[in-house]
Amino acid sequence: MTSMFILSCFLTCFPLLLISLSECVTDPSSDPNVISLTASSFDTVISEHEHVLVEFYAPWCGHCKQLEPEYEKAAEKVRNEGLAVVFAKVDATVEESLASEFGVQGFPTLKLFSKGSRAKYTEFEPKERNADGILAEVQKLTDPNYKPPPSDVTVLTTETFNDFVNEHNLSLVEFYAPWCGHCKALEPEFDKAATVLKKKSIYLAKVDATEEPDLATEYQIQGYPTLYVFRNGQRYDFSPRNRDSAAIIRAMIKESKPSSVEVTSIADLKLAIDSAEVTVLGMFRGSGEDSELVKLFLDATYSFRDEIKFFHSFDGTVAKAMGVKMVPSISVIFPKKFESKFEPKRRQLTDAQSVDALKHFIDAQRFPLVGEYVPNSKYDKKRPLLVVYYNVNFGPEFYEETQFWRNKIVAVASEYKDTITFAVGNEEKCAQDLVDSGLSESGNGINAVIWDKFGRKYPLEHDDDFSEELLKSFVKNYLKGSLKPVIKSEKAPKKQSGAVMTVVGDTFESLVEKNSKDVMVFLYNSEKCDACIKYLQIFAQFAGDWIKEDPDIVFAKIDVAKNDHLHQYEVKKQSLPHIYFRKSGLWKEPVPFDYEPLPNWLHEFTAEKRGKALKKSVRDVKTEL
């Protein structure tokens, strides 16, 4: 009877054992010393071992193929040495969510996870990428007495912050939260950049915003990590294209260079003034009398360096050639194609009392009455924005026709310039705008759309020929509030089920924005984000636990691939999903949740915003889905 019971247990458990092993070792032919991990097996393996060395690789990567035999040899050496280290690998082209979570930018990338936690890992970079080099690095990093070299990133507090940013000509400061997944991915890259940039007298620092709430409030920190450049204490936004060390280094070296070019002759001037774009020219006396204004001018230019070309000169012949009668002065100069009878050829400022005053002047004057719009440009910050789309082409062959229609728009813009920004856009370059606005098949040679500051789209629907009167009527109707926006939307569900309410484009404003309760909304892309589905399940499980004790909050979700949402709920394609908390009564001020959406971090964030915590802990809620 006993033997039959044992056999029965074996037959019951053996299939489960096979399933468990299959999750970890996905390729039976691979080296038994190296475990292949998937998203579903990753946490299990990490949590069960003191140290796990993980290689993120791509099957097509030549460097990965060269490393593979050495990595396997090193795994065998580590096993023979009796070290408590497990070797593993992740196919980053398959497990994209894992690669994204840990900030993998290239292949192969190695990370050493310790203490059974996915949050405690070290960038693994052996001096030599062979078996002996890997073994030596493993021995060093797993030695209980090992102490990593001191970081070149300075840790700042409220007491030390001002001294640091004022002491250095150029510095970069990161505001972070210890639990933020993006911050953890950035940390090793930030450290590497700090070491390189320190040699160039550019200094990096960080502030734990959870420990220094006064600093976080002063600098209006809404999400993590937030990076700011400081020049002699003056703050500037910093948004590198990528957040790896190389991108940070490149961006900061660019920041260290002057953003305005000095013009010393009329020949230089001809090269300086851009015939296609708006430029800004600062003219100053060479005697040194204008040193304070020159400093203000140069400080102000850094805020626009990626959008405008700046030049300055101390040469009187340059001023004369430009027809500048007042020196010192700062001129915003438009190319000929943007000139009109309703506006001066240049806007000029002869005095400025502060950097902010000068920045305000430049920002307000750099837009002609009707400029040229391209998607994702400086015009996105100047809403409400009216764009007229047609065959815009300022080349010689099409110049006259382009200006014929633009001049009609200029006439209307001159009447409404204080309430709406006007621009023209090439219909082919802006084809997606027309699709999103429902005008791609309108059959009209000229189309127009007003974009409000919340991202809502108001297309001009007409059957008549385009004219000044038609455009003026369109603007009046918009200002009266009689136009309805075009909203991309799925059909709203007839019944809601589960803890998370489904929101679509047509119901976003009523169910999220104007809901009388606090709302936490999950924005995801069902078509291009594998991680979104996993995290949506975690979010739903968390929401179900929370509303059992606190029903006076709404949890919602919206698929941004199929539905429009309001502009202040910003979605960055490279870092989906997004979660926002909207406090009741503050519908225009949603607060982003910028951490990995795991139960404990969702709990801390929601508890902070709601002013209450759950009695039942959610820290141990299962997150492997």
- Active site amino acids: 61, 64, 180, 183
Report the 10 Å Cβ neighbour count for 147.
6
Residue 445, phi then psi, degrees to nearest 5: -70, -25
| Residue type, position 550, single letter | D
What is the C-alpha separation between 506 and 526, in angstroms, rounded?
Answer: 18
What is the C-alpha separation between 21 and 35, in angstroms, rounded?
Answer: 10
Q: How far is CA 54 from CA 75, 111, 419, in A?
A: 11, 5, 56
Dihedral angle, C-alpha 413, 415, 421, 426, nearest 10 °: -10
3-state secondary structure 122-163: EECCCCCCCHHHHHHHHHHHHCCCCCCCCCCCEECCCCCHHH
| Residue type, position 508, single letter | F
Residues ≥6 apart with Cβ < 8 Å to 545: 599, 614, 616, 618, 621
What is the C-alpha separation between 599 and 538, in angstroms, rounded?
Answer: 7
What is the C-alpha separation between 409 and 402, in angstroms, rounded?
Answer: 11
What is the C-alpha separation between 104 and 61, in angstroms, rounded?
Answer: 14
Residues ≥6 apart with Cβ < 8 Å to 85: 49, 50, 51, 52, 53, 78, 112, 138, 142
Strand, helix or coil for residue 13: helix
